Every structure is written in structure tokens, then in C-alpha cells.
Amino acid sequence: MRLVLLSLALLVTAAPLSAQESERPADWKVRFDRSASDSDLYFVDMPPGWHITTGPACILYNPANIVSGPFRVDAKIFLFPGDRREGYGIFIGGANLEDENQSYLYFLIRKDGRYLVKHREGNDTHEFFPWTENSYIVPHTGGDDPVENVLSIEASETEILFLINGNKVMSFDRARVNADGIVGLRVNHGLNLHVAEFNVGALDR
């Protein structure tokens, strides 16, 4: 693990030097919460995965990542040092993401070891579960190294489960929300992340 973290740290240290030569990942789209310029976001391919440094909060997604029925979404995310206590994670149920009536359900964690589940409908949001401390989250308590967490959402025919590092933290009836649709990433403002993996697939059980 130490070797992986060190390799990522070296990649990120070098990243700003080549920012002008980098390109956004092919086929991915970005939507900011508020009006913003593309120059406010650094989002590039950086194997393994992608590196993201945000200005304003946004969602990032490939419109081809559409799911329905039983499915699972996983993201392995490294959070780098920073002053912001802002959330980052994944979303499901994305619909009308380029329109005023956008809709999606998002699952975030933040550096102080708390998580949140929230739904957006247009410009309005409401909480399914408020910011709550959880021991399964690896917090960022300082130092120069990034910390790794894996966020997962499993949607069966009847239930939606939310997992952190393979451990269930909450669930609710799937009938409460439309889980079908586009899946992607959500990153709030002022964060520096590396998304090493983003996996979408059918749920076997």
C-alpha cells in the first residue's frame, strides 16, 4: 500500500506541469452545481484511473454508463491533503443531467470520516441520511500521503445498499427512489482526488 500511495503522490506532484498538454477523458461530461468555466476543473486520464482537482462542485459522468435492474457501482478513490472538509463519491439514478430537471442520488464521504446520502431534483436537494461519522471510513488526519476508500452501491430488485470499504453502512427500499439511469462521480468544491477504479456491472445476487 505504501508503494501505491507513493506512486500516486509522485504522479500528482508532476500533474500540474503537464496540465496544458492533458485532455479530458473521452466521452465524459461535467456539470457544475453553479455556473463555472471548464478552466475551474482539472480532470484528466492518469493511469490507473483519473485525477480530479475541483474548483466548484460538480458531477462527472460518461453517458454510456447507464444501469437498470440489479446492479453494483464501485469507486476506489484516493483523497489528497487539503483544507476543505467537502464530500466526494458516486451517484446513481442520473436523469436529465444536462437539463434544469436533473435528478440523481449521491453517496459521499469526507475527510473527517463522515458519510452522506442525498438526492437532487432540479436545484433542490434532500437528505436520505445526514452527515454521520462511521468507523469504516479511512479519514485524512494530516500528513502528505493520500488516503484510500472504496465506495459501493448495490441495488437489488428491492433494496439499495451503501458500502464503504466492503462494509454496509445503510440501506433502504428501492421503491423510495428511481435507481435506474446514469451513474458517475460527484466531487464537491476545492478537492484533490485520484479515482483509481470506477466499476459498473450487473449484481449477481
Q: What is the pLDDT of residue 186?
A: 98
Q: What is the pLDDT of residue 46?
A: 94
Q: What is the pLDDT of residue 205?
A: 63
Q: What is the pLDDT of residue 22?
A: 57
Using alpha carbons, list the distances in angstroms from residue 126 to 5, 119, 122, 130, 150.
35, 5, 11, 9, 24
Q: What is the pLDDT of residue 16?
A: 46
Cell of 93: 439514478
d(CA 135, CA 84): 20
Stated pTM of the model: 0.90
d(CA 146, CA 12): 10
pLDDT along the chain (205 residues), means of 10: 44 43 82 81 95 96 97 98 95 97 98 98 95 98 95 98 98 97 97 98 84
Cell 477523458 appears where? 25
Instruction: Kindly list the structural domains of the chain, giving each domain's residue range(s) and its CATH number in brackets, ordered by start.
Output: 2-202 (2.60.120.560)
Using alpha carbons, list the distances in angstroms from residue 169 to 114, 116, 119, 129, 134.
11, 10, 17, 11, 8
